Amino acid sequence: MNRAAAREPLPGNPYTPQSGDVSIRVEHYDLALKYRMQNNRLSGTATLSLRATVPLTAFALDLVGLRVSKVAVRGDKQARFKQSDRKLKITLSKPVEAGAAITLEVVYEGAPRPRRSRWGTIGWEELEDGIIVASQPTGAPTWFPCNDHPADKASYRIQVSVDSNYDVVATGSLRSRRSAGGLTTWVYEEGAPTASYLVTLQIGRYRREDVQLAGVDGHLHYPTALARRVGTDLADVSRMMETFELTFGPYPFDSYAVIVTADDLEIPLEAQGMAIFGANQIDGARGQERLVAHELAHQWFGNSVGVGGWQHIWLNEGFACYAEWIWAEASGAESADQLARHYWRSLSALPQDLLLGDPGAADMFDDRVYKRGALTLHALRLTVGDSAFFEILTSWTVEKRFSVASTAEFIEHAAAVVPDAPLQELFDAWLYQLALPDLPSAVRAKVTRLLR
């Protein structure tokens, strides 16, 4: 994201209107945390470097379930704060202009817990013997004060002190680890712009295995008892990485980590530069291989190229779902076209009452968003052919790297790559009409199989 864009007000947030403050953008978070496992006690100091995007005298951060004891604004000793159940409001003693830099320190503590939402409980959650953070879409405030807007990306430094018999995996690269007095302090840093919901912290008894994934540094973290299952189910991640770099462009981050918890999880989770799976999703028989591909693909679609608002969620989930089909095709299983026609038949039997381009907050994680989003991409592929289709995807990930995007921007981008194709009619039908369109003919489009 360029400097000019970083100082513009954030876009509206209609699906989660109570989260985030569009009048500020956070540039960096420095989190210094101490966590006691035995009594679920978190204490922290968060230092935020942010910038006003409009003239302001007050702004708000999101924080849920934790109590603030101190807020200090650099250069403003008269600044005040007030906390409600969802917000931390900071009032400055004098107005600041648009573009002004603000640095503040927030000291807080409490017993973190997940927050209830229309999408279930999200955020910080205790496992049987550890911690998992799963924040999509509004769970980040359960463990640190933040501007919880999907378009507000920042860099992070995360320092966590825990009992020395536990391991910590957090967003970013591990910079240091030191032990004293029964506690070990881990420091992770993430320089790539990261949305708050994609920042994660995982605490457990993990073995770390460093691997190479088609030239990308990889790190596997898992309970020793699951070593065989992990070795089987994640054996092809390097080939997935190679396939997705061919089809989506270079992997956008410095490394890729996979965490497997000892607990079962309802669904796997993506985070910046990593994916988290439950023991039930790593079964030793590659029974959930499509999910391994799905979470890896999110590093391009959702993490590097984020969404400016949750109404554009198909740009995350539809693309990651289509990556499952691309991997199936590349690995010698069913072709993307076979899978597309299978899921088209499934969707045709379901209610036709979801608008993919604006599904509504209640339905943004509906499986029809995933499948119809993938079908939209397949319809595009069938219309323009493989060469143009993959040029659209690879140039998109390069152009929008570390930024955020909207559906309108993707339509404009595709039209610029293939100016003579009838794409407006295609996108209108798939994104903005309720009825499920027919797929174009696979024979006419000459869909080719990817390299194995």
Q: What is the mean pLDDT of residues 83-95?
A: 97
User: Sorting pLDDT into bands at 50, 70 and 90, what band is 445?
Assistant: very low
Q: What is the mean pLDDT of residues 330-352?
A: 97
Q: Where are the alpha helices (DSSP H) in 122-263?
A: 227-233, 237-248
pLDDT at 367: 98
Q: Does domain 1-121+134-200 have CATH number 2.60.40.1730?
A: yes
Residues of the chain with pLDDT > 90, as a percent, come to 95
pLDDT at 60: 98
Q: Is the predicted pLDDT of residue 240 greater than 50, yes or no?
A: yes
The dihedral built from the CA positions of residue 171, 174, 175 and 176, taken in this order, carries a sign that is positive
Alpha-carbon distance of 407 to 389, in angstroms, equals 16
Q: Which two tokens stand for residue 144?
A: 């640190």
Contact between 296 and 276 under an 8 Å Cβ cutoff? The reply is: no
Alpha-carbon distance of 380 to 382, in angstroms, equals 5
User: Sorting pLDDT into bands at 50, 70 and 90, what band is 441?
Assistant: confident
Q: Where are the domains of the chain?
A: 1-121+134-200, 206-299, 306-445
Query: What does pLDDT average to over the chain?
Result: 96
Active site residues: 295, 370
pLDDT at 3: 46
Q: Is the predicted pLDDT of residue 442 greater than 80, yes or no?
A: no
Burial of 380 (0-12, 13-18, 19+ CB in 10 A): buried
Q: Which residues are annotated as a binding site for Zn(2+)?
A: 294, 298, 317
Chain segment 19-68, per-residue pLDDT in tens: 999 999 999 999 999 999 999 999 999 999 999 999 999 999 999 999 99
User: Sorting pLDDT into bands at 50, 70 and 90, what band is 446?
Assistant: very low
The CATH topology of domain 206-299 is Zincin-like (3.30.2010)
Q: Which residues are annotated as a binding site?
A: 294, 298, 317
Q: Is the predicted pLDDT of residue 344 greater than 50, yes or no?
A: yes
| Displacement of CA 118 from its chain's centroid (Å) | 19
pTM (2 d.p.): 0.96
pLDDT at 450: 56
Q: What is the mean pLDDT of residues 215-229?
A: 98
Architecture of the domain whose range is 306-445: Orthogonal Bundle (1.10)
Q: Is the predicted pLDDT of residue 448 greater than 90, yes or no?
A: no
